[in-house]
Amino acid sequence: MSEPLVLMEGIVKSFSGVHALNQCRFELQPGEIHALVGENGAGKSTMMKILSGVYSKDAGKIYFKGKEVEIPNPRAAQHLGISIIHQELNLMNHLTIAQNIFIGREPRTAKIILNDDEINRKTAELFKSMHLALDPRTKVADLTVAKQQMVEIAKSLSFNSEVLIMDEPTAALTESEIDELFNIIRQLRAKGVGIVHISHRLEELKQISDRVTVMRDGQYIDTVKTSETSIDKIISMMVGRTIYETSPELPENPSQEVVLEVKNLQQGSLLKDISFSLKKGEILGFAGLMGAGRTEVARAIFGADPYDAGEFYVKGKRVQIHSPQQAVQHGIGYLSEDRKRCGLTVGMDVKDNIVLASLKKFLNAIGWVNMAQTTLTAQKYAQSLNIKTPSLDQKVKFLSGGNQQKVVIGKWLVADTEILIFDEPTRGIDVGAKSEIYKLLNDLTRQGKSIIMISSELPEVLRMSHRVVVMCEGRITGILNAGDATQESIMKLATQRGGIISTNLIPEAGRA
Amino acid sequence: MQRLLAFGALIILFVGFSIASPYFLTFDNVIGILLATAVNGILALGVTFVIISGGIDLSVGTVLTVSAVMTGVFITNNHWPIWLGMLGGILTGGLAGFVNGVVIAKMKIPPFIATLGMLNVTKGLALVISGLKPIYFNDTPIFRSLAMDSIIGQVIPKLDIPNAVLVLFMAAIIANLILSKTVFGRYNFAIGSNEEATRLSGVNVDAWKIGVYTLCGLFAGLAGVVIAARLNSAQPALGAGYELDAIAATVIGGTSLSGGEGSIVGTVIGAFIISTLTNGLRILSVPQELQLVVTGCIVVLAVYADILRRRRK
Ligand SMILES: Nc1ncnc2c1ncn2[C@@H]1O[C@H](COP(=O)(O)OP(=O)(O)OP(=O)(O)O)[C@@H](O)[C@H]1O
Ligand SMILES: [Mg+2]
């Protein structure tokens, strides 16, 4: 093998006494796509943050092209030619796309005067090469999470770096965007760039990676060639035991009682004539491409966004929902796709976040919060969701990405609402925890709760849903029964552009 | 948008007061409004930068005081040339701002606390240095005329707008260029929008933050020099409370207290709204106590209008 582009050896890192990394190793060749996998909290992000100058290591050595280097800050990493897309979005919402992409290295006249025309032009060129239709002058705040993720990717590409680290870049993307991303990184690989790809979508490994490094509990396990290793083998290295993927249990049939009915929901040009119903004990999957309007539907139902027209019926009674508070009163909970912006109070600890949405339950007669009971409840959910945290008093912002997601889920489970809307519930969650969450969802429906599950992972939608609503460009293009839904039939409906509403084409299940 | 709203409000105030009192729209009175705006406006320019970066500066009022006092010390007591004394006054403000910046960026003290401390420090220093007595500029009459004469009046007869007002507009133009055209301005917005993301983009956030507070201090210093010239004296007890007017002007002008958003044009309009309001209410002989009540309500309403606008979006 040629000299490695990057070699990290004996890396140790602890956070206030807790070991996050212990004697870790990582090696990257030029012109390879190297996948880094491991359970939530295994230390993948921490390892890459050390390589990109965000954290300093406690011990160990980093070699770049054979020479030992120190990387004390992000700037130093940029100078070496190492760029990273962080797991959490790191954008300045008030700035435009182009301003975000060129932050810190904007072209200047006389050292201080900005030239926005130039960055707009360069950004437009970049987007063209990525087949992205975005205006560089748009403010980032006005973009969806998926588009923001594409901006992050564009930003990291614009560095023309020799090392490109991507920490779960695909978590927020849909299949077609992922394909586009993979094409781009294959081209980069051909040019000799070394690429680190962190992902919990293990099916991607075979598709894209040359080698895989597995980490577990802050330890380096092994590095293997993807072509010579099976996914099952990788999973067993990740979790330290062999787990057998249980065949998906067929969801039980829900009752025919309708708990939520949405009629003719209309929101500007985003949502057109959305009508559907949700039954008691049902999981209703929402599939579609990025920008199809699924999140918008959820937010409208939850009262988080204003809508132009539409009627909501909860258990047959017409209700008004104009604020999240009203939604919660009618027994509707919403787990947002963007945990940092809407789902968590990252400065508070795990315990408080879990009970936040249902604090009322924990008040005693004089209005004090019953601490013992909150701790007990938080403990229960932290355990059943397998949240990896040194203690319940840890601030949520110090948890790994996947564990933060679990906290949000825990929060809505405690809230114990009748109707739960999950927007991308398993984004960034490892295989083991994923099946835990699936089990939990099934348990919930068995208890008579109803669930709307928005997901961009088709296998997940197919596995979990009783019925699948497919959306395209703000319309419902079809509602499929579990029996009729296949990847192909969903994709066909999801790309049915041009406004042919085909709800009539496929008879909706259970409707008289 | 908020700027249009604010500008509309300013017009309405003008029209309203003109109808209510014949004295309001006289040349002398309008000059009075302009003069009153000059000092608060210059202060607010610096505050705008700080608030856009997501911070706050409570010390600008008393930094103004100490700068004015130092100008007096330099020119009257030490007999420095006037230009040097003025420069010294401005740099005094810059120094105070720099200290604010270091305390906030390096020692990680929250801006509210850090600048509250600086408020008291500068308040005390102004009193100590001046020996509790005003310093007059009677030996150097040119100093006062620098602010109160009118260059415009010499070019266009009868339009005797004092130079102090000119200083405000020039400072505003420079501030606007810095904010919209330079790296400094861009990073200011970036830090206010998402400090962590800016840091992760390789920007030396601490250094730029120190820069922002220093710039704010420089503006406060300039305002101190202007007010000293206008009053022909450095008053050691004047200036406390000015910071609130400056913050109010900034916020009325549409700058978001949570950072990342704001404009110089808005701030200048905001400063005009405050002085127009104060002036108009005085002309209508509203008692001073009630004037305070009205201005207080206006500030809150302005921010509420901004919130409503945002929510609709
Ligand atoms: N800034 C921090 N302060 C304290 N603990 C931290 C900090 N950052 C990470 N940790 C801890 O270090 C461990 C490794 O976290 P890391 O983010 O690297 O996991 P990960 O492998 O990326 O997981 P995920 O798949 O969930 O993103 C976790 O237990 C986490 O709680
Ligand atoms: Mg991670």
Q: Are strands A309-314 and A317-319 parallel, antiparallel or unpaired?
A: antiparallel
Measured between CA atoms, the residue of chain A closest to residue B203 is A104
Q: Which of A213, A220, A221, A400 to mutate to test the pocket of ligand 1 (most atoms within 8 A of CB)?
A: A400
Q: Do A104 and B260 touch (CB under 8 A)?
A: no
Q: What is the mean pLDDT of residues B22-34?
A: 90
Chain B CB contacts of A107 under 8 Å are none
- Ligand number, closest to the Cα atom of A42: 1
Q: Report the atom number in ligand 1 closest to the C-alpha of A87.
A: 27
Q: Which of B182, B196, B200 is opposite residue A114, by nearest beta carbon?
A: B182
Residue-wise pLDDT tens digits, B186-218: 999 999 999 989 998 889 999 999 999 999 999
Residue A42 alpha carbon to ligand 2 centre in Å: 8
Tokens representing B241 are: 């409370």
Q: Which of A75, A93, A106 is opposite residue B183, by nearest beta carbon?
A: A106
Residues with CB under 5 A from ligand 2 (ion): A 45, 87, 400-401
Q: Is A478 helix (H, G, I), strand (E, B) or coil?
A: strand
- Ligand number, closest to the Cα atom of A390: 1
Chain A CB contacts of B181 under 8 Å are 113-114
Chain A CB contacts of B199 under 8 Å are 74
Q: Is A390 helix (H, G, I), strand (E, B) or coil?
A: coil
Chain A CB contacts of B260 under 8 Å are 92-94
- What is the Cα B17 distance to its own chain's centre? 24
Place of tokens 């409503």: B308
**Phi and psi at residue B186, in whole multiples of 5°?**
-60, -45
Tell me, what amino acid is at B185? G
Alpha-carbon span A507 to A505, nearest angstrom: 6
Pick the residue with more confidence: B71 or A352?
A: B71
Cβ atoms of residues B59 and B115 within 8 Å: yes
Q: Is A75 helix (H, G, I), strand (E, B) or coil?
A: helix
**Which residue from B272, B252, B274 is spatially nearest to B262, judged by alpha carbons?**
B252
Q: Do A78 and B182 touch (CB under 8 A)?
A: no
Q: Do A90 and B194 touch (CB under 8 A)?
A: yes
Measured between CA atoms, the residue of chain B closest to residue A116 is B181
Cβ atoms of residues A359 and A370 within 8 Å: no
Residue A19 alpha carbon to ligand 2 centre in Å: 15
Domain count, chain B: 1
Apex A354 CA angle, A351 and A355, nearest 5: 90
- From A126-140, B50-64, B216-230, the region with the lowest mean pLDDT: A126-140
Give the number of beta-carbon pairs within 8 Å between A and B: 64
Q: What is the DSSP letter of A301?
A: H
B183, B195, B206, B308: which to substitute to probe chain A, counting the most A Cβ within 10 Å? Answer: B183
Q: Do A114 and B181 touch (CB under 8 A)?
A: yes
Tell me, what amino acid is at A223? T
B193, B261, B312: which to substitute to probe chain A, counting the most A Cβ within 10 Å? Answer: B193
Q: Do A90 and B203 touch (CB under 8 A)?
A: no
Instruction: State the SS3 of A203-218.
Output: HHHHHHCCEEEEEECC
Neighbouring C-beta atoms of residue A362, cutoff 10 Å: 18
**pLDDT at B26 > cutoff 50:** yes
> Domain residues for B285?
2-312
Q: In the structure, which protein residues have their CB atom closer than 6 angstroms to any atom of ligand 1? A: A 15, 20, 38, 40-46, 87, 388, 398-403
Measured between CA atoms, the residue of chain B closest to residue A77 is B202
Helix axes B264-283, B2-20, angle to 10 degrees: 20
Q: Which of A104, A108, A114 is opposite residue B201, by nearest beta carbon?
A: A104
Residue-wise pLDDT tens digits, B150-180: 888 888 888 888 999 999 999 999 999 999 9
Measured between CA atoms, the residue of chain B closest to residue A55 is B200
Q: Do A95 and B196 touch (CB under 8 A)?
A: no
Query: Which of the residues in chain A have pLDDT under 50?
Result: 244-245, 247, 498-512
Instruction: Share the mean pLDDT of chain B.
Output: 92
Query: Residue B129 maps to which CATH number?
Result: 1.10.3470
Q: Report the atom number in ligand 1 closest to the C-alpha of A388.
A: 29
Q: Do B189 and A104 touch (CB under 8 A)?
A: no
Q: Do B260 and A93 touch (CB under 8 A)?
A: yes
Alpha-carbon span B54 to A231, nearest angstrom: 47
Q: Which of B182, B183, B194 is opposite residue A92, by nearest beta carbon?
A: B194
B51, B181, B189, B194: which to substitute to probe chain A, counting the most A Cβ within 10 Å? Answer: B194
Q: What is the DSSP letter of A306?
A: -
Instruction: State the SS3 of chain B.
Output: CHHHHHHHHHHHHHHHHHHHCCCCCCHHHHHHHHHHHHHHHHHHHHHHHHHHCCCCCCCHHHHHHHHHHHHHHHHHHCCCCHHHHHHHHHHHHHHHHHHHHHHHHCCCCCHHHHHHHHHHHHHHHHHHHHCCCCEECCCCHHHHHHHHCCHHHHHCCCCCCCHHHHHHHHHHHHHHHHHHHEHHHHHHHHHHHCHHHHHHCCCCHHHHHHHHHHHHHHHHHHHHHHHHHHHCEECCCCCCCHHHHHHHHHHHCCCCCCCCCCCHHHHHHHHHHHHHHHHHHHHCCCCHHHHHHHHHHHHHHHHHHHHHHHHHC
Alpha-carbon span B307 to A327, nearest angstrom: 23
The Cα of A23 is separated from the nearest Cα of chain B by a number of Å equal to 25
What ipTM score was computed for the predicted complex, to two decimals? 0.85
Instruction: Show which residues on chain A lie within 8 Å of chain B, measured between beta carbons.
Output: 54, 73-75, 77-78, 86, 90-95, 99, 103-106, 108, 111-114
**Which residue from B181, B218, B261, B254 is spatially nearest to B63, judged by alpha carbons?**
B218
Place of tokens 């330890």: A219
Instruction: Show which residues on chain B lie within 8 Å of chain A, measured between beta carbons.
Output: 181-187, 189-190, 192-194, 196-204, 260-261
Q: Do B183 and A108 touch (CB under 8 A)?
A: yes
Q: Which of A22, A44, A46 to mutate to test the pocket of ligand 1 (most atoms within 8 A of CB)?
A: A46
- Ligand number, closest to the Cα atom of A429: 1
Q: Do B260 and A114 touch (CB under 8 A)?
A: no
Residue A199 alpha carbon to ligand 2 centre in Å: 9
**Which residue from B178, B159, B156, B176 is spatially nearest to B168, judged by alpha carbons?**
B176
Q: What is the mean pLDDT of residues B5-11?
A: 85
Q: What is the mean pLDDT of residues B10-16?
A: 89
Measured between CA atoms, the residue of chain B closest to residue A95 is B190
Q: Do A113 and B184 touch (CB under 8 A)?
A: no
Nearest residue by C-alpha to atom 18 in ligand 1: A43
**Which residue from A66, A28, A9 is spatially nearest to A166, judged by alpha carbons?**
A28
Nearest residue by C-alpha to atom 2 in ligand 1: A398
